[in-house]
Amino acid sequence: MQSERNVMEDPPPELPAVEPSADATVTELFKAHRLGLVRFAFLLVGDQETAEDIVQDAFAAVHHRWRRLVDHDQLLPYLRTVVLNGCRAVHRRRAIARRFGVEREVPFWSAEVQALLGETRREVFSAVRDLSRRQREAVVLRYYLDLSEAETAAVMGVSRGTVKSTVSRALSALAVKLEEGR
């Protein structure tokens, strides 16, 4: 009887905090942020299929490296960086192909895409696409994803001052380009 009292009076031992599994966390991130990341990649590479492949590869990389990732609370910034690096790799491959005389096809503007993008949006998209790679990255991260200068700098791997000057030059170039179009 005495041992029953002790068992009943002693609180149960605390269970260690259970970290969410890689599958569950990556699935939730995918559901919440896939579309935004695909749009981000699309603005950088210019075609939907490549953008979707880049984002899919980014999520696969996060899932594959789950145990090696230190801060699971910072997965979204990590994903943005992985997507940005994927876009950079696409641009490098395209540049190599151009050197060997292989021109990539300009993405076909389907009726669906044209319905989604009005004339003004297409002009802006075209003007952004004509920016240098770094300027395009900075503008898309800063204004499309609405990241702060510090967050943009972290994703791009540059200083805040570089982000400020790059964005300033990009906005000037966009203003000139869009004014020419009118």
- Determine which of 71-75, 121-125, 142-146 has the lowest per-residue pLDDT on average: 121-125
User: pTM here?
Assistant: 0.68
Q: State the pLDDT at residue 107.
A: 58
Cβ atoms of 48 and 107 closer than 8 Å: yes
The answer to whether 111 touches 83, Cβ cutoff 8 Å, is no
Reduce the DSSP state of residue 112 to 3 states and report it. helix
Q: What are 64-88's pLDDT values in tens digits? A: 988 888 888 889 999 999 999 999 9
Tally of CB atoms within 10 A around 69: 13
* pLDDT of res. 4: 53
CA 116 to chain centre: 21
pLDDT in tens, 7-17: 455 555 554 44
Cα(179)–Cα(155) distance, integer angstroms: 30
> 42: which 2 tokens?
């699309």
